[in-house]
Chains A and B, each alone.
Chain A
Amino acid sequence: MTSDDEATWVRRLKQGDEAAFERLIDTYYGAMLRLARSLCPDPATAEDVVQETWFAILSAIARFEGRSTLKTWIFAILTNQARKRAAKDRRFAAWLLGDTTEDEAIAGPDCATAQAAMSPWPLDAEAKVHRDQVLTIVQEAIENLPSNQRTVVILRDIEGLEPAEVCELLKITDGNQRVLLHRGRVSIRNTADQALNPNPEMSR
């Protein structure tokens, strides 16, 4: 979408155009729910946060000035709603309130043992069964990540946000953003690879 398209869309939203809001739901509801589920301790709370975000969007759209994309603006409202909840609910991850991140080891290739090349993942269109298997494994691996890594992976790799946008949204440094993205990706990659290449010498 060009910036002109988005400006026209925003103008229609500000006018209360129903079709424009319908498009907003079509375009961003899934992404909002994914992000909320990553930030919140349970699905019901995530749905509440999304609902509160819609209220906030409706009351704030008149003041939207287009200094960020519509998507980033919506995500900023959503993360703020989640932070408000987190301040009152101890089940939320501490990092949302600014606690520091714990370091974890990364399992990458090992010079001493990884002698054989790993098999590529079977993701071609003809191998649908394998593809579905990979996607299920990856989905579970994403869900099992620590919430800070999961949130960064979702924002960078799934929603396609720029590093600076992610840092601004999550109130983290660029270095932290890179570490969280990398650890999340490696963890997902390793889980998928172990499932697809169960021979340990082939899946380092």
Chain B
Amino acid sequence: MKHCCSQIVELLVDYLEGELSAEQTAELDSHFAGCPPCVAFLETYRETGKVCKCALEKELPAAMEQTLLNFLKTTIQG
């Protein structure tokens, strides 16, 4: 079965996690071979998870960490 681009998008989670059948995987690979927009979409989609991790990982403010540590020490000792 031939897929159009919007159908390809719906299958990306399963494709990247190796959850598709061999037949479906081959169909998607075949589509990607002839569809640069879908390849670009796949690459940026794959990149999204990594970029999300970089975007949200922040250092804990030192003052907050110290407050929490003091709270835990008091609780443990109590």
A185 touches B48 (CB 8 A): yes
Q: How many interface residues does A have (CB within 8 Å)?
A: 49
Is B51 on the interface with A (CB-CB < 8 A)? yes
* Chain A contact surface mostly: helix
Chain A min CB distance to B30 (Å): 15
Q: Which of A22, A139, A185 contacts B69 (CB 8 A)?
A: A22
Is A68 on the interface with B (CB-CB < 8 A)? no
Distance in angstroms between the alpha carbons of A145 and B47 in the assembled complex: 18
CB-CB < 8 A to A118: which residues of B?
37, 40-41, 44
* Chain B contact surface mostly: helix
Is A49 on the interface with B (CB-CB < 8 A)? no
A111 touches B4 (CB 8 A): yes
A154 touches B44 (CB 8 A): no
Is A82 on the interface with B (CB-CB < 8 A)? no
A29 touches B14 (CB 8 A): no
Residue of A nearest to B14 (CB): A178
Q: Which of B36, B45, B68 contacts A54 (CB 8 A)?
A: B68
Is B63 on the interface with A (CB-CB < 8 A)? no
Known: A108-B8, A109-B38, A120-B43. A142 touches B49 (CB 8 A): no
Distance in angstroms between the alpha carbons of A157 and B45 in the assembled complex: 12
Is B72 on the interface with A (CB-CB < 8 A)? yes
A188 touches B76 (CB 8 A): no
B55 touches A142 (CB 8 A): yes
Chain A min CB distance to B15 (Å): 11
A182 touches B12 (CB 8 A): yes
Is A96 on the interface with B (CB-CB < 8 A)? no
B75 touches A58 (CB 8 A): yes
Residues B42-74 near A (CB distance < 8 A): 43-45, 47-60, 64-65, 68-69, 71-73
A158 touches B57 (CB 8 A): yes
CB-CB < 8 A to A153: which residues of B?
49, 52
Residues of B within 8 A of A (CB): 4-6, 8-10, 12-14, 17, 35-41, 43-45, 47-60, 64-65, 68-69, 71-73, 75-76
Residues of A within 8 A of B (CB): 16, 18, 21-22, 25-26, 29-30, 33-34, 54-55, 58, 106, 108-111, 114-121, 123, 134-136, 138-139, 142, 153-154, 156-158, 163, 178, 181-182, 185-186, 188-189, 192-193, 204
